[in-house]
Structure 1
Amino acid sequence: MNRREMIAAAAATAGASALPASGWTATSANARPKIGIIGVGMRGRVHLAELLKRDDVEVAAICDVDPWSLNAAQAAFDTAGKPRPRVFEGQNQDDDAGWREMLAQAGLDAVFIVTPWEQHAPQGIAAMEAGIAVGCEVVAGITLQDHWDVLNVQKRTRVPYMLLENVCYRRDVLAALNMVRQGVFGDILHLEGGYQHDLREVKFNAGVPGQAYGGGVEFGPMKDGRGGWSEARWRTEHSVHRNGDLYPSHGIGPCAMAIDIHRGNRFTRLTSYATPARGLHNHIVAKGGADHPNARVRFALGDVVTTMIGCHGGQTILLSHDTSLPRPYSLGFRLQGEKGLWMDINKSVHIEGVSAPHRWDAAQDWFDRYDHPLWQAHAEKAEGAGHGGMDFFVVHAFIEALKAGAPMPIDIYDAVAWSAITPLSEASIAGGNVTVDFPDFTDGAWENRSPIFALDGRY
């Protein structure tokens, strides 16, 4: 039996909880899946580094519009002692010829999409239409219609699609999930999380290739000698034109897994608020002067965006997006049940009847006791991987599920619902903080699906 037949057989026997089921088979009968990467910038090369450590895949093709990034990616193959891939190059951010050519010509089994957010939906759709499995960096789309389009293509083609949300694999997050599943907190009632990360020196730089962080206050595509490089080339534009929770999946992913969203539970409604925008303008003036042309830019994105989500099971979720003001990094997780809670901001746990009354325990003591089987099995392999090891796990999960023909652990329903928080929050704020209904992307299937994420130590 060749690999195509093995994957097809595995997919045919996948559990009913895998809706929508995968009817995909690999396009190649080689022993190793052939992987392509669209986007080998800063984030793309992190995924590339993990893939190059593996002997069970072949990174066969890469694509980017930036020559510096393409050269850096090819050097990584040399360092790893792996054959260089086919290289496909676009002319600029709006040029889709390079990546479309790669999807058509490279004979890929799967593709990692690690490009500006506005390209994720069209690239994911094109890959699935070509029968190529998708590992997509957050987010899944921009507009609400983008999310429906991605979902409908996946359901029609049944090609695997996974959102590469790495925070779901953070060691403390998985230990807390293990505690939830063992009933330590009792029934979960309230959760909090978010993206609280000072990105001012990510959104602005001097436009110099290889110097992604700070050093200037330029942003946007290079024009007349001015513009940003790396994320400053594209990400900052979203802060100019949009006001909502632009990056929800780091916070919502772990919360959703803890309360079985799409597997017996679902989001039902959402309300968002945004503060005035001050931080990015202040940064430009402080670093570039009040006369700098970018000091005239009016940013739409509120400095702190707060979103409350209601769930069918009665739980409440509070999300925060806070990227334009001076602050240390924190995702602000709070997981609270009938018996106690975990708060990551103070690295503490309290469990009634075990902890001293009205006193916190060090969270690490609990997490050592409830260390998740995934980390117990793979901590050594994850050592040195990006984001404290999380990036090993998210790549590992995608590859292992792909090879097995098994359901993706963060599946299409997770991808579109977590990501759709952005356009829904934009609509809520634009409407005067109105409460908006959350679409049921599963069309009722959530009631009968069972959890599959991180049930054991495999992936």
Structure 2
Amino acid sequence: MNYLDRRNFLKLSALALGGFSTGLLTNQSKASDLKKNLRLGFIGIGGRGSYHLDTALGISGIEIPAICDIDPKNLYQAKRWIEESGQPSPNLYDRGPTDFIRLCEQEELDAVICATPWDTHAPVCLAAMKNGKHAACEVPLAQTLEEAWELVETFESTGKWASIVLGGFGDLTMLNMVRKGLLGDILHVESGYIHDLRMVKFNPEEEPWRLQPAIDKNGNLYPDHPMRNMMPVLDINHGDRFDYLVSMSTKSGMLNDYARAQYGEKHPYANMEMALGDYNASLIRTVKGKMITLNHDTHTPHPRESFRLQGTKGIYLKERDSQRIYIEGRSPREHQWEPAAAYLEEYEQEIMKNYSPPERIGGAIRGHGSGGMTQTPINWHRLVLALQGNKQPDWDVYDSVTSAAIIPLTGNSVADKSRPVDFPDFTKGKWKTRLPLYS
């Protein structure tokens, strides 16, 4: 799907026509436990969408009767993969960037799988929900507060959910260390999306829409990856909630430098003004006095991000290639890191320890982000179980839109000289009594 200006959102969602359970799945099931086939429609089947498509094709009991994309290459590759898997040829929806609405109106589906560019996520999900279908989506779920609230209200009026379940799975062993009290009361978490994407943003073959948000918007544009660990360890929407944030960005210049270095001084992006600062840092405080430092940097040269978790009894630092920990009174040397391997083994969470999905149909998963994976990803396995059990996935609508709301709220703070911005309570007070995530 191509990049759609956010101003088209109300027009698109207006075109989309119109008992749920809030329970979460904690037990693993085998293929024999699944009582009926699931019918899924796929909207957006490029690099990331093709990964999700091939994942689904490897799971017994999933039918894919409809696919949608504006790129014929993506569409017909997906059609071929579906046919090669032994399923009937799917219905094709390729009449432009809003043809997903026709798919949602005409197809009988249990859920829609959305892997389109960011600004189309909310319109796609709303079209699905208003036409009697759940929506499993890549991150983020929304770009504006208006979209976030409409997703909540549509869920509450229809019982059909939208979730960022496709955006990955949290570190449940780290979460278990927190809930077992190893680190004491959590005070501060720091991480972010620190990923050098300069080459991606200038690669029209991979993600041709990815540069445009950096031209148009400032703030933290991609909070969901760190949030999938930050929100659970802080009990956000499940005993605590975000209260307010402040956000600040540096100047912008690295994308211009990259364009000049790679393509020359006359390249159109060599001197174009970019709204997004090269580095954004945001501070978020919770109602119960906990704090997040959330970073965003996709323009400078660096390794990937780390995750720092500080409690009243100790600290845990998770990096890409190592994990370190210090527990007061337990670590062998005072104020000295020790390897975390023994703790990670001791506190391995039961969901991960017992994860044993049915064997995949076919070989390694294809598409962007697969890494040659041969086992069904746990988030996909649990999505299937949720749909089969008529339950919401681990991340429900309220958690999904809370994570996404950081995008417009940080933009508002940056634009107002980093003044504090209040955080909406999408749960309308239910955060006080909602059960913990993955409970």
For this structure pair, what is the TM-score category when the shorter chain's length is used for normalisation?
0.7 to 0.9
Structure 2 residue 331 is matched with structure 1 residue 355: yes
Tell me the distance in 1 between the aligned counterparts of 2:212 and 2:178.
39
Q: Which has the higher contact order (CA 8 A, sep 6+)?
A: 2
Residue 117 of structure 1: aligned partner: 118
Residue 317 of structure 1: aligned partner: 292
Contact 2:137 2:167 in 1 (8 A): no
Instruction: State the shift of 1:353 in Å.
Output: 2.0
Q: Which of 199, 205, 208 is matched with 1:229 structurally?
A: 205
Instruction: State the shift of 1:450 in Å.
Output: 1.2
Tell me the distance in 2 between the aligned counterparts of 1:74 and 1:361.
51
Q: Which of 405, 409, 427 is matched with 1:420 structurally?
A: 405
Percent identical residues? 36
Contact 2:118 2:139 in 1 (8 A): yes
One-letter amino acid of the structure 1 residue matched with residue 296 of structure 2: H
SS in 1 for 2:103: helix
CA offset digits 1:432-458 (Å, max 9, x no partner): 10100001111111111111x333xxx
Q: Which of 421, 424, 432 is matched with 1:436 structurally?
A: 421
- Return the TM-score normalized by structure 2: 0.86
Residue 365 of structure 1: aligned partner: 342
CA offset digits 1:270-312 (Å, max 9, x no partner): 0001011121111111110112122132111011110100001
Residue 63 of structure 1: aligned partner: 68
Structure 2 residue 233 is matched with structure 1 residue 249: no
Instruction: Name the Cα RMSD after superposition.
Output: 2.2
SS in 2 for 1:378: coil
Output aligned runs, 1:340-351, within 5 Å. Answer: 340-345=314-319, 347-351=323-327
Sort the Cα spacing of 1:177 and 1:382 in 2 relative to 1 into closer, same or farther, 3 A: farther
SS in 2 for 1:409: coil
Tell me the distance in 2 between the aligned counterparts of 1:363 and 1:353.
15
Tell me the distance in 2 between the aligned counterparts of 1:286 and 1:194.
27
Contact 2:39 2:110 in 1 (8 A): yes
Residue 335 of structure 1: aligned partner: 309
Contact 2:64 2:82 in 1 (8 A): no
Residue 157 of structure 2: aligned partner: 156
Aligned residues: 401
SS in 1 for 2:379: helix
Residue 438 of structure 2: aligned partner: 454
One-letter amino acid of the structure 2 residue matched with residue 416 of structure 1: V
Tell me the distance in 2 between the aligned counterparts of 1:298 and 1:381.
51
Sort the Cα spacing of 1:146 and 1:408 in 2 relative to 1 into closer, same or farther, 3 A: same
Contact 1:165 1:253 in 2 (8 A): no
Tell me the distance in 2 between the aligned counterparts of 1:382 and 1:261.
35
Sort the Cα spacing of 1:382 and 1:416 in 2 relative to 1 into closer, same or farther, 3 A: farther
Greater shift after overlay, 32-41 or 361-370? 361-370
One-letter amino acid of the structure 2 residue matched with residue 436 of structure 1: V
One-letter amino acid of the structure 2 residue matched with residue 194 of structure 1: G
Greater shift after overlay, 60-69 or 373-382? 373-382
Q: Which of 357, 371, 378 is matched with 1:393 structurally?
A: 378
Unaligned runs of 5+ in 2: 1-18, 26-34
One-letter amino acid of the structure 1 residue matched with residue 432 of structure 2: E
Residue 5 of structure 1: aligned partner: none
Residue 182 of structure 1: aligned partner: 180
Contact 1:264 1:448 in 2 (8 A): yes
- Return the TM-score normalized by structure 1: 0.82
Residue 377 of structure 1: aligned partner: 354
Contact 1:166 1:393 in 2 (8 A): no
Tell me the distance in 2 between the aligned counterparts of 1:408 and 1:248.
20
CA offset digits 1:125-152 (Å, max 9, x no partner): 1110101011011111112111111111
Contact 1:167 1:254 in 2 (8 A): no
Contact 1:47 1:391 in 2 (8 A): no
Contact 2:357 2:381 in 1 (8 A): no
Contact 2:318 2:324 in 1 (8 A): yes
Tell me the distance in 2 between the aligned counterparts of 1:68 and 1:354.
57
Tell me the distance in 1 between the aligned counterparts of 2:60 and 2:359.
15
Sort the Cα spacing of 1:440 and 1:362 in 2 relative to 1 into closer, same or farther, 3 A: same
Output aligned runs, 1:196-207, within 5 Å. Answer: 196-205=194-203
Sort the Cα spacing of 1:167 and 1:103 in 2 relative to 1 into closer, same or farther, 3 A: closer
Instruction: State the shift of 1:186 in Å.
Output: 1.2
Instruction: State the shift of 1:188 in Å.
Output: 0.9
SS in 1 for 2:169: helix
Tell me the distance in 2 between the aligned counterparts of 1:382 and 1:292.
50
One-letter amino acid of the structure 2 residue matched with residue 100 of structure 1: I
Contact 1:165 1:250 in 2 (8 A): no
Residue 218 of structure 1: aligned partner: none
One-letter amino acid of the structure 2 residue matched with residue 439 of structure 1: P
Tell me the distance in 1 between the aligned counterparts of 2:309 and 2:250.
25
Structure 2 residue 241 is matched with structure 1 residue 281: no
